[in-house]
Structure 1
Amino acid sequence: MPLPQPADAAGHLIDAVAAHLPDEGRLGVAYSGGVDSASLLAVARHTLGPERVLAIMAVSPSLAARERALAVDTAAFIGAEVLQITTREQDVDGYRDNDVDRCYFCKNEMFERIDAAVIDEHDLAAVAYGENADDARRIDRPGARAATEHGVLRPLADAGLTKADVRAVARAFDLPVADKPAAPCLASRIPHGHEVTEEKLAQVEALELTLYQLGFSDSRVRHHGEIARIELPTDEMARAAEPQIARDIEASATRAGFTYATVDLRGIQSGAMTLSILNARGSL
C-alpha cells in the first residue's frame, strides 16, 4: 500500500524537513516507531522515494515487545524497509550505572552498531534521527550528544519543527501513531543510581502491558524494588481504584515480582526523575 499523499495544510512543514535531507544517496533513519521518528521516516519516504530510505530499529530488552510490533506495522504503513539491529547497551557500564546520562550510552551503542559494515551493505549516505526542536532545547536529552559525535542528522530540529508540528505532519500522512503518547524506553522507569537489569525491565514491561490491556491510554511503571509506582493520566486514575481493575493490577504486579503496587496521585511525569537530579546538582 503506497504512503498517502500528505494533506496540503502541512506542506510547508514537510518542505522544511525535506530541505535538510541528503540530496543524493540512501538515508538511514534511526527509528523507534514513535511519532517523531515515524514522521521523519514518512517525510523521507515521500521526498526521496522507497529505494532511498531505510528504517533502522535498535532492538534490546529496553524495547517493549508491543512497541516493537507497532513500530514494524507503522513502517509497513509508510512503505519503508526496516533493518532491525540488536544492541547491547545493558553490557555498557555507564548504561547499567543509570546516572542522568544513561541515554547517552544507549544512543551511542545504537549509533556504533550502525557501523561501516552496515553503511556499506545498505549503501547509506547519511543517518538521521527524530530529534525535534522542543527536544533540542531540553537539558535532559544526553542522547543528542551521541548523535553529534557520530555525525547523525536531525532534520526535524534543524527545520524548526516543534512536537506539535511533528504531530501535524503525522496527521497529514494519516500515520497511525499521529496521536500516540510518548513511549520512552523501559529503562527510564528505573530511578537514577539504581542498576538497570533485564529482570527489572521485564517486570516493568509485564505490568505496563496489563495496564494497556485494561484500557489505560498511557502509563509508566516506576520500579522501586518491591514497589511498582504506577503513573497514569490524571483523568484515568479513578479507574484504577475500581474493585476489579484494582484486583487485576495487583495480580499482574504480583506475577511480575512486585510486592506492592501503588498509583502516584501526580499522574504521568515525563522526565521528572532526571530533572529532579539535575536541579539538585544545579544543572538547570
Structure 2
Amino acid sequence: MKLQEKREVLRNYIKEMGSLAVAFSSGVDSTFLLKTAHEVLGDQVIAVTARSCSFPERELKEAIAFCEQEGIRHFIVDSEELDIEGFESNPKNRCYLCKHELFEKIALIAKEQGIKEIAEGSNLDDNGDYRPGLIAVAELNIKSPLRHAELTKEDIRELSKEMDLKTWDKQSFACLSSRFVYGETISREKLSMVDKAEQRLLDMGFYQVRVRIHGTIARIEVLPSQLERLVARREEFTEYFHELGFSYIAMDLDGYRMGSMNATLEETTVS
C-alpha cells in the first residue's frame, strides 16, 4: 500500500473502535498513534502512561506536556516492574511479564472511563524482532493499529513530520530494563546508572544512544557515524560514568542497533 492509503486504513480502523485507551510512552510510535486517534475520536480517546524506575523522568514529562498541549485526557499509572514476581531476575520473557501487568492496569482505567478498546504502538518493523511483549498483547486482545495498517517506523516518521509532530525525528527508545543481559539481576540502582549515563550522552548531542550494562561494564552504542565523535569526546563522560559505578567503559564498534541484547538468545528462542 501507498503511505496515504496506510493512513486511511489506520484512521478507519480507529474509527470502528468507537473509543480507545492508548498506552502512551511519548515515543515516536505512540505519539503518532495518540495524535491520530484523537483526531478521529476526539474526547473518546484517553492516554495512559506507566510510571516506573525503568521509564526516564524526561519521557514522563514529555508525555504529560503533549497531552496537556493537545487537550487529551491523560492517566498516569504506577507500574513498577520490579514488584512483579520474577522480573528482577531478567528472564527471557521479561517484556511479557511487564506488558501483561501494564495492560491489565490500563484495562481497569479503560473500564472506569467507559472506553471500549485498548491500543499499543508497535509497528510493522517490530514483527521481525524478538518481542515477547506482543504475546501479552495478543492474549489480552490489545489492538495494534500501526501494525494493522502495515506502517513501518520510516512511514510513521514521515507522517509525523507531515503532522508537525516534534517526535518525527526523535530517537527510538525502549525501557531501561532492555539494557540488561538476560539473566542479570535488574535493580533500581543499576537502572539509575544506565538512565544517568544515557542522559549524559544525550546532553552531549549524541542522537541515538544505548548504554548496555554487563555487570559493572558499560557498553556504549551510538550511531556508526558518531563513533569517532564518541572517542574524541570520551574525556567528557568517562569520569562521570566511573562516578556512577561503572568499572569499565567500552564502545560497541557495531554501533547502535535495535534489540542487540537479543543476540545472546538461542536461535530457537528468537524464531
**What TM-score bracket applies, with the shorter chain setting the length?**
over 0.9
CA drift of 1:11 comes to 4.4
Aligned length: 270
- Give the structure 2 partner of residue 134 of structure 1: 125
Report if aligned partners of 2:130, 2:270 keep a CA contact under 8 Å in 1: no
**Equivalent in 256, 265, 268 of residue 253 of structure 2:** 265
Instruction: List aligned pairs for 1:164-243, cutoff 5 A.
Output: 164-242=154-232
Residues of 1 paired with 2:45 and 2:37: CA distance?
7
The answer to whether 1:33 aligns with 2:20 is no
CA drift of 1:78 comes to 3.8
Report if aligned partners of 2:99, 2:137 keep a CA contact under 8 Å in 1: yes
CA drift of 1:283 comes to 4.1
Instruction: List aligned pairs for 1:2-21, cutoff 5 A.
Output: 11-21=4-14
Residue type matched to 1:133 in 2? L
Partner SS, residue 63 of structure 1: coil
The answer to whether 1:277 aligns with 2:265 is yes
Residue type matched to 1:127 in 2? I
CA drift of 1:58 comes to 0.8
CA drift of 1:67 comes to 1.8
TM-score norm. by structure 1 comes to 0.89
- Give the structure 1 partner of residue 37 of structure 2: 44
- Give the structure 1 partner of residue 58 of structure 2: 66
Residue type matched to 1:69 in 2? K
CA drift of 1:121 comes to 2.6
Structure 1 unaligned spans of 5+:
1-8
Residues of 2 paired with 1:84 and 1:105: CA distance?
19
Residues of 1 paired with 2:107 and 2:155: CA distance?
31
Residues of 2 paired with 1:86 and 1:38: CA distance?
20
Partner SS, residue 219 of structure 2: strand
Which moved further from structure 2: 223-232 or 163-172?
163-172
Residues of 1 paired with 2:185 and 2:24: CA distance?
26
Partner SS, residue 178 of structure 1: helix
Which moved further from structure 2: 86-95 or 102-111?
86-95
CA drift of 1:177 comes to 0.5
Aligned CA distance change for structure 1 residues 14 and 183 (closer, same or farther; 3 Å):
same
* TM superposition outliers: structure 1 runs of 4+ over 4 Å: none
Aligned CA distance change for structure 1 residues 141 and 282 (closer, same or farther; 3 Å):
closer
Aligned CA distance change for structure 1 residues 21 and 103 (closer, same or farther; 3 Å):
same
**Greater helix content:** 2
Partner SS, residue 128 of structure 2: coil
**Equivalent in 248, 254, 258 of residue 236 of structure 2:** 248
Residues of 2 paired with 1:214 and 1:78: CA distance?
30
CA drift of 1:24 comes to 6.0
Residue type matched to 2:117 in 1? A
Residues of 2 paired with 1:171 and 1:59: CA distance?
27
Residue type matched to 1:120 in 2? K
Q: Deviations over 1:82-102 (max 9, x none)?
A: 211000221223322212221
Q: Deviations over 1:4-30 (max 9, x none)?
A: xxxxx9643332101212536431001
TM-score norm. by structure 2 comes to 0.93
Residue type matched to 1:57 in 2? T
Q: Deviations over 1:125-160 (max 9, x none)?
A: 11111121221x224011111111111111111122
RMSD: 1.9
Structure 2 unaligned spans of 5+:
none
Residues of 2 paired with 1:78 and 1:156: CA distance?
20
Report if aligned partners of 1:208, 1:219 keep a CA contact under 8 Å in 2: yes
Residue type matched to 1:21 in 2? I
- Give the structure 2 partner of residue 100 of structure 1: 92
